[in-house]
Amino acid sequence: MKILVSLLVIGILSFSCGSKELTVDEPEPVATQPAEQPAESPQPAPVQPVTEVTQEEKPEPPASIADVTPEPAKAAAASLQDSIDVMYMIKPNDYLVKIAINEYGRPTMWRKIWNWNYEVIGDNPNLIYPYRELALKKPIEYANKVEFSWYDYTVRKDDTLWSIAKKEYDNNLAWIVILRDNYDEIGDSYNTLRENTTLKLRTKLY
């Protein structure tokens, strides 16, 4: 009897186990990231051709008056061989740059004027005295001969070149012009003029 019951129990258990579906939990799929593409190596920048940089050459100052291109009616275009010296009387309020512009049309010509007249001007080109004369080189075709007209002046008692210059030219500093024009008559004794001496004076200073 015990054997029968045991077999019955075993049969029931076997039936129960066979009726159950054996399931196996499958793992959920794991999302996979796409494999990273290897970063592209940067392409080298194209090499630009090296341009040789040359320092701009500074123009050399003109070596002679022939290197200067004049403005119309200006006398700055001629070689020194074709030029002559024309005397220029310094006017009140003149300076070398002003003279260079008026006579040559170029302010840079002041250096040449200074070089040509170094013995008259000296070491300081900023200090020039009115009524002194400078030699300016001008082409022959531009050089105008300077001619003066004269009148006689008779020296009076107590006259001096200084006082005569003030009276006749309205500028005491013009005494040097009277001395230059009458040096043969006056000589080195110009500080003591002889009465009744006849001097020649210009009707115009320049």
Separation CA 165–CA 181 (nearest Å): 13
The neighbour count for residue 68, using CB atoms within 10 Å, is: 19
**DSSP SS3 for 87:** strand
According to CATH, what is the number of the domain 65-139? 3.10.350
Q: Which residues pair with 137 in a beta bridge?
A: 85
Res 155: pLDDT? 96
Domain chopping of the chain, boundaries: 65-139, 150-202
Per-residue pLDDT of 115-143, as tens digits, reads: 999 999 999 999 999 999 999 998 887 77
Q: Terminal CA-to-CA distance of the chain, rounded, Å?
A: 169
Phi and psi at residue 201, to the nearest 5°:
-120, 145
Q: pTM of whole model > 0.75?
A: no
Mean pLDDT, residues 152-180 taken together: 95
Separation CA 91–CA 197 (nearest Å): 28
Q: Distance of alpha carbon 169 from its chain centroid, rounded?
A: 41
According to CATH, what is the number of the domain 150-202? 3.10.350.10
What residue has token string 């210059």?
165
Mean pLDDT, residues 26-53 taken together: 49
| 147 close to 90: Cβ distance less than 8 angstroms | no
Same fold, 65-139 and 150-202: yes
The DSSP output letter for 19 is H
